[in-house]
Chains A and B, each alone.
Chain A
Amino acid sequence: MTQESNVEMVNLEIDGKPVRVPKGTFVFRAAAMAGINIPNFCQYPDLRPFGACRSCMCEIVTRRSNIDISCSTPVSEGMKVFTRSPKVLEAQRFAVEALLVDHPIDCPICDKSGECELQNHAYYTNVRTNNPLARPKNSWEYETLSESVMIKRDRCVLCGRCVRVCDELVGSTALAWANRGNDSYIDAAFGKDLKDSPCVSCGLCIEVCPVGALLNTSYHDTARAWFLKKVKTVCTFCGVGCSMELHVEEETGRIKRIVGTQDTGINNEQLCARGFFGFEFVQRDDRLQAPLVRKDGELVESSWQEALSLVAERLPRYQGDSFAAIAGAHSTNEENYLFGKFVRGVMRSNHIDFDAGMGRGVRPAGLRDVFGSDAPMNGFVDVYENAGCVLLIGSNLSATHPVFTYKLQTAVRRRGSKLIVASPQAVPLSQIATLDIRYREGAEADLLNGLAALIARRELVAHDFLAQRVDGLHEWWQAAQGYTAHGTSANTGVPVEVLEQAAEIYATGGSGVDGRGADGLFPPSAIFYSSALTLRDGGENIDYGAAALALLTGNVGRPGAGVNSLKTANNSQGALDMGCVPFLLPGERPVEDPESRRALQQAWSLPDPLPARPGLGLEGMLDAARSGRVRAMYIMGSNPVEASSNPQRVADALGHLDFLVVQDMFLTQTGRQADVVLPACSWAEKDGTFTSAERRIQRVNKALTNYGQSIPDWTILVHLLERMGFERLYTHSDQILAEIAAVVPSYAGINRRVLERAGNVMTMRPGRVYRNPSLDEIKRLGVQWPTTDADPHGTPVLYADSFPNGKARLVGVPFQAGRLLADGVYRGTIRISLYHQGTGTMTGRCPTLVSLDEGGAADSSPERGRGVGMLRSPNLQQSGYSTGQLTDI
């Protein structure tokens, strides 16, 4: 472990081994660092010490020898610890024996058998006899706490990990201790269903349970732990990009469960309901088994040869502007890159887009005008560790990026970060917010620009930063000075004093006006919102306002700050980076730029130059299809019909096409319109990379054999290109990754080995000195683009030295009194589910998620499952509660 020099270190000896750890570390943790395992139940690295189970007793010698619990004894200089002395073993064995007095030895029928900590400790501490305290055992039946969580209370060792993780790490407080002493047990408050509690069904309680007391309903009685093959991969749902392990039964080749793993990824064992329970869609019987080809108006099963030959024969007729394509926000980078190459290079069209949320395509973001890119500047871990203040605006990140909000609440409650939640409705984070702002729906832009003007008036700005790195300050002020406190208040419905307070907290990083550090800067403040918020008309004004706030206060290019517009799907950021956008080539280079086009033409060895005009976005394509200008479409892993708020209209547009190819796992409503439907693999069946909303590139690993005749999206494209007369260039997705590393500047130098080296930073844990980790430490977590050949671990914080265009350019938004009151376009707020995502094509096929969302019993019918996603809340597909202008596309 490398440590910073300013941390005081302590030397001690554990089992004769010299150990050097930071002051404040607990003996247990120090032993773990030295590779010495001590039995424990209530100890959990991310929790405050609890000292309930007494099984981690060690002989701790300072001035005198003492048997003490190692989980809550801090190290001291010169301490000697014995973890295996006869005295210690005796004490540890007694602790385990005492637990076994009440624990039913029903290991043969227990899900946890084989990975049970009590089983292991009994084994290692050599428990041979019945405890003399033995008495008749209590017996409790299986009980369901909710659709996802079961409990068998007699197995419980009352370590309290579940209660404590729920409170400390998830912030839910859904589980409680009931009763006292011998009669204690774990329950939801007042014995109710967990669903009536703040429970978010993240499954962490199940995961941390050392014995088989808390059980996963979907895993219960389905597999034995020792037959499970564990494959590390990354989640396929939201933009947080949690690392997870798929547990696949070797014999049947089916996923049995998903767990997070300690010290891995940015999530560090935490997952959300989608991640934990959302895998059942992979092995649903309604997956596409074979290609479908339309014959006499009906889609019928056919062979790959027939389907691919048909596509290869028909598509060349539509080369150029009559061809359009939609890429997948859940597809891997390799697939999206190859798709873009196919569309631009082979089909010679720039009409390529993907569903950026709300069934709408990507819009040129306002952040791009200001900074040169709309990528989030700071990562989740960086903000979690370093931000003095976090401003969340207009987004329910608890539903769209759940695990990030779990981390955020920990930062607020443990580290004392300030949190400003601005939202038209109460969101879960409002409860712990330092300042909870309710503004009029749709007033985000006014609120942000108004706050920026307030900060400018109050001189809470970073003068040096503005002078050195920002252009257009004067013009910005010309536009922004119209935002008076009262005008902003009238437009947004937020009282003036709340605005003043928010401006002060944000500008000073929560430290108050006297909080400037030695460098003249306040502690950092970060802004977060879901990029779906900016997809409506006028959405760029939100970007301009957020950018102005950050630039004025110097909150750009330093740890714990930044403007972070989070993309919603797991690989939306990657799809954008891979150029699946009408106006950008791979690497965020504009299509109009002849130099970039030439470079790409050369890299792809194309005979003709690439089309120079930016193409049509998703809405434009559908309009063009309706008017007959676009005659063929290729849709990969996307479902525009169901994603739209007006499915009929999209289906109608697709109906006008001459030829439609759809590549998907399931026969979606979009697929039903197609002439050829090609069965694709799920994320669990392929290799590749995803780029999370914080620019983190992570590797996806194949865990299962392909379902039916399905093959990964990129393989389909390779086969198709081969049939269209091109040389076969790739036999493995890593070869595409190598090409990406060579062609896409921001991905330079990445390869499989770099991606697999990613670890975790272990900071801000109880028992360690709270300190802000350096960027180098955060870098060890993995790879965040832009990377370079020399430094493939990339850049945790963007724009630390310079902006892509040299300087950032402030863009002002003129004040317009009563802007919102006049036009009544801001209708309603979108309810989104904690359990479903997007169109529900995937989550709607996971019975556990469906039952959690519906509140009823699990229903295995896929139609009904999807119905939850679609029909019960018609706007679910917005996959972000955000206020939206519900117009047709």
Chain B
Amino acid sequence: MDNNATKRQFYIGGIEDPWTGSQQDRDRVLSILRGFEGYDPLEALIPALHELQKEYGYIPEEAANIISQEWQIPATDLFGVVTFYADFRTEPRGRNMLWICEGAACYFMGGPQLGQAAQEKLKIEYGETTLDGEWTLRRADFCYGACHLAPLVDLNHTVFGPLSKDELGRLIDNPPKEPEGSHKL
């Protein structure tokens, strides 16, 4: 496992993989797990994965294996959980994560057109990351439960809406550092 650390400086599209597989990384995972001491591993799993993802932007496989060993949860179960929830990712992502909502309300209020505009502007398709590693674009086929803001987008866990194509363009040109969206998740 350790020898993987050297061979992947860059992963996809110029995104630097924040997970290097070093001892430091491993310790970081262990310290996250220590935060859940006293809890049933199955209860703590999803919050722990959230923390891990906050740290690395995705769930590194080796980190998942550490959880699997420490908490005696089969790696297959972990894999199932990570792939089941749309928010967990198994690959590194761009520095900004942009979800375009295409849930029912947003769909009718122009979500697909927003998506089209975002894809044209960033020159990537849904699910992809820009070559400079800045943006990852994804389509939300679920509902944010904020349909009064439709059509909305989710930038780095902050919801913006209702947006026009131009407004979305400006948002992409100038992503707020500490975003003050219409609705913080």
The answer to the question of B101 belonging to the interface, with a C-beta cut-off of 8 Å to chain A, is: no
> In this complex, what residue of B is CB-closest to A166?
B76
Residues of A within 8 A of B85 (CB): 180
A174–B79 Cα gap in the complex (Å)?
11
A175–B80 Cα gap in the complex (Å)?
10
A178–B86 Cα gap in the complex (Å)?
12
A176–B90 Cα gap in the complex (Å)?
15
Residues of A within 8 A of B64 (CB): 190
Residues of A within 8 A of B76 (CB): 163, 167, 173-176, 188-189, 197
A197–B74 Cα gap in the complex (Å)?
10
The answer to the question of A177 belonging to the interface, with a C-beta cut-off of 8 Å to chain B, is: yes
Q: Which of B80, B86, B90 contacts A177 (CB 8 A)?
A: B80
Residues of B within 8 A of A130 (CB): none
Query: Would A189 and B84 count as touching, CB distance under 8 A?
Result: no
Chain B contact residues: over half helix, strand or loop, or mixed? helix
Residues of B63-84 contacting chain A, CB below 8 A: 64, 72, 74-80, 83-84
The answer to the question of B128 belonging to the interface, with a C-beta cut-off of 8 Å to chain A, is: no
The answer to the question of B61 belonging to the interface, with a C-beta cut-off of 8 Å to chain A, is: yes
Chain B positions 105 through 145: 1 when the CB is less than 8 Å from some CB of chain A, otherwise 0: 00000000000000000000000000000000000000000
Given the interface pairs A190-B61, A190-B90, the reply to whether A197 lies near B75 with Cβ below 8 Å is yes
Chain A positions 164 through 207: 1 when the CB is less than 8 Å from some CB of chain B, otherwise 0: 00010000011111111000000111100000011000000000
Given the interface pairs A190-B61, A190-B64, A190-B90, the reply to whether A167 lies near B83 with Cβ below 8 Å is no
A173–B78 Cα gap in the complex (Å)?
11
Q: Which of A176, A188, A198, A431 contacts B77 (CB 8 A)?
A: A176
> In this complex, what residue of B is CB-closest to A432?
B72
Residues of A within 8 A of B61 (CB): 190
What is the distance, in angstroms, from B52's C-beta to the closest C-beta of chain A?
Answer: 14
A175–B75 Cα gap in the complex (Å)?
9
Query: Would A178 and B75 count as touching, CB distance under 8 A?
Result: no
What is the distance, in angstroms, from A405's C-beta to the closest C-beta of chain B?
Answer: 17
Query: Would B83 and A189 count as touching, CB distance under 8 A?
Result: no
What is the distance, in angstroms, from B72's C-beta to the closest C-beta of chain A?
Answer: 8
A179–B90 Cα gap in the complex (Å)?
11
Interface size on A, residues (CB 8 A): 17
What is the distance, in angstroms, from A753's C-beta to the closest C-beta of chain B?
Answer: 46
Query: Would B79 and A173 count as touching, CB distance under 8 A?
Result: no
Residues of B160-181 contacting chain A, CB below 8 A: none
Residues of A within 8 A of B90 (CB): 190
What is the distance, in angstroms, from B55's C-beta to the closest C-beta of chain A?
Answer: 18
Query: Would A178 and B74 count as touching, CB distance under 8 A?
Result: no
Residues of A417-456 contacting chain B, CB below 8 A: 431
Chain B positions 143 through 166: 1 when the CB is less than 8 Å from some CB of chain A, otherwise 0: 000000000000000000000000
Given the interface pairs A190-B61, A190-B64, A190-B90, the reply to whether A173 lies near B84 with Cβ below 8 Å is no
Residues of A within 8 A of B78 (CB): 189
What is the distance, in angstroms, from A161's C-beta to the closest C-beta of chain B?
Answer: 15
A708–B85 Cα gap in the complex (Å)?
59
Query: Would B80 and A173 count as touching, CB distance under 8 A?
Result: no
Residues of B within 8 A of A189 (CB): 74-76, 78-79
Residues of A within 8 A of B77 (CB): 173, 176
Residues of B28-74 contacting chain A, CB below 8 A: 61, 64, 72, 74
A197–B90 Cα gap in the complex (Å)?
18
Chain A positions 330 through 357: 1 when the CB is less than 8 Å from some CB of chain B, otherwise 0: 0000000000000000000000000000
Given the interface pairs A176-B79, A178-B79, A190-B61, the reply to whether A167 lies near B74 with Cβ below 8 Å is yes
Residues of A within 8 A of B84 (CB): 177, 179-180
Query: Would B74 and A173 count as touching, CB distance under 8 A?
Result: yes
A99–B72 Cα gap in the complex (Å)?
35
Residues of B within 8 A of A173 (CB): 74-77
A198–B78 Cα gap in the complex (Å)?
14
Residues of A within 8 A of B80 (CB): 176-178
Query: Would B79 and A180 count as touching, CB distance under 8 A?
Result: no
A177–B74 Cα gap in the complex (Å)?
12
Residues of B within 8 A of A167 (CB): 74, 76
A197–B75 Cα gap in the complex (Å)?
8
> In this complex, what residue of A is CB-closest to B59?
A190
What is the distance, in angstroms, from A406's C-beta to the closest C-beta of chain B?
Answer: 16
What is the distance, in angstroms, from A299's C-beta to the closest C-beta of chain B?
Answer: 49
Query: Would A190 and B75 count as touching, CB distance under 8 A?
Result: yes
Residues of A within 8 A of B79 (CB): 176, 178, 187, 189-190
Q: Which of A163, A177, A431 has the most CB of B within 10 A?
A: A177
Residues of A within 8 A of B74 (CB): 167, 173, 189, 198
What is the distance, in angstroms, from A50's C-beta to the closest C-beta of chain B?
Answer: 14
Residues of A within 8 A of B75 (CB): 173, 176, 189-190, 197
Residues of B within 8 A of A198 (CB): 74
A178–B79 Cα gap in the complex (Å)?
7
What is the distance, in angstroms, from A429's C-beta to the closest C-beta of chain B?
Answer: 14
A188–B79 Cα gap in the complex (Å)?
9
What is the distance, in angstroms, from A160's C-beta to the closest C-beta of chain B?
Answer: 11
A495–B67 Cα gap in the complex (Å)?
29
Q: Which of B76, B77, B79, B80 has the most CB of A within 10 A?
A: B76
A179–B79 Cα gap in the complex (Å)?
9
Q: Which of B64, B78, B79, B85 has the most CB of A within 10 A?
A: B79
What is the distance, in angstroms, from A236's C-beta to the closest C-beta of chain B?
Answer: 32
A167–B75 Cα gap in the complex (Å)?
12
> In this complex, what residue of B is CB-closest to A174?
B76
A180–B80 Cα gap in the complex (Å)?
9
A176–B75 Cα gap in the complex (Å)?
8
Residues of B within 8 A of A187 (CB): 79
What is the distance, in angstroms, from B139's C-beta to the closest C-beta of chain A?
Answer: 13
Q: Which of A178, A180, A189 has the most CB of B within 10 A?
A: A189
What is the distance, in angstroms, from B1's C-beta to the closest C-beta of chain A?
Answer: 11
What is the distance, in angstroms, from A231's C-beta to the closest C-beta of chain B?
Answer: 35
What is the distance, in angstroms, from B70's C-beta to the closest C-beta of chain A?
Answer: 13
What is the distance, in angstroms, from A342's C-beta to the closest C-beta of chain B?
Answer: 54
What is the distance, in angstroms, from A410's C-beta to the closest C-beta of chain B?
Answer: 16
Chain B positions 88 through 106: 1 when the CB is less than 8 Å from some CB of chain A, otherwise 0: 0010000000000000000
> In this complex, what residue of B is CB-closest to A175?
B76
> In this complex, what residue of B is CB-closest to A178?
B83
A240–B16 Cα gap in the complex (Å)?
52
A188–B64 Cα gap in the complex (Å)?
14
Chain A positions 298 through 327: 1 when the CB is less than 8 Å from some CB of chain B, otherwise 0: 000000000000000000000000000000
> In this complex, what residue of A is CB-closest to B76?
A176
Residues of B within 8 A of A178 (CB): 79-80, 83
Chain A positions 134 through 176: 1 when the CB is less than 8 Å from some CB of chain B, otherwise 0: 0000000000000000000000000000010001000001111
> In this complex, what residue of A is CB-closest to B90?
A190
Residues of B within 8 A of A176 (CB): 75-77, 79-80
What is the distance, in angstroms, from B182's C-beta to the closest C-beta of chain A?
Answer: 28
A574–B48 Cα gap in the complex (Å)?
55
Residues of A within 8 A of B86 (CB): 180
A198–B90 Cα gap in the complex (Å)?
21
Residues of B within 8 A of A175 (CB): 76
Residues of B within 8 A of A177 (CB): 80, 83-84
Residues of A within 8 A of B72 (CB): 431
What is the distance, in angstroms, from B78's C-beta to the closest C-beta of chain A?
Answer: 7
A198–B77 Cα gap in the complex (Å)?
13
A210–B46 Cα gap in the complex (Å)?
33
> In this complex, what residue of B is CB-closest to A177?
B80
A518–B61 Cα gap in the complex (Å)?
53
Ordered nearest first, which 9 A-B pairs have the shortest CB separation?
A: A176-B76, A173-B74, A189-B75, A189-B79, A178-B83, A189-B76, A176-B79, A177-B80, A190-B61
| Given A163-B76, A197-B75, 7 more pairs with CB closer than 8 A | A174-B76, A175-B76, A178-B79, A179-B83, A189-B74, A190-B64, A190-B79
Residues of B within 8 A of A (CB): 61, 64, 72, 74-80, 83-86, 90
A-B pairs with beta carbons under 8 Å apart, 18 shown: A173-B77, A176-B75, A177-B80, A177-B84, A178-B79, A178-B80, A179-B84, A180-B83, A180-B86, A188-B76, A189-B74, A189-B75, A189-B76, A189-B78, A189-B79, A190-B79, A197-B75, A197-B76
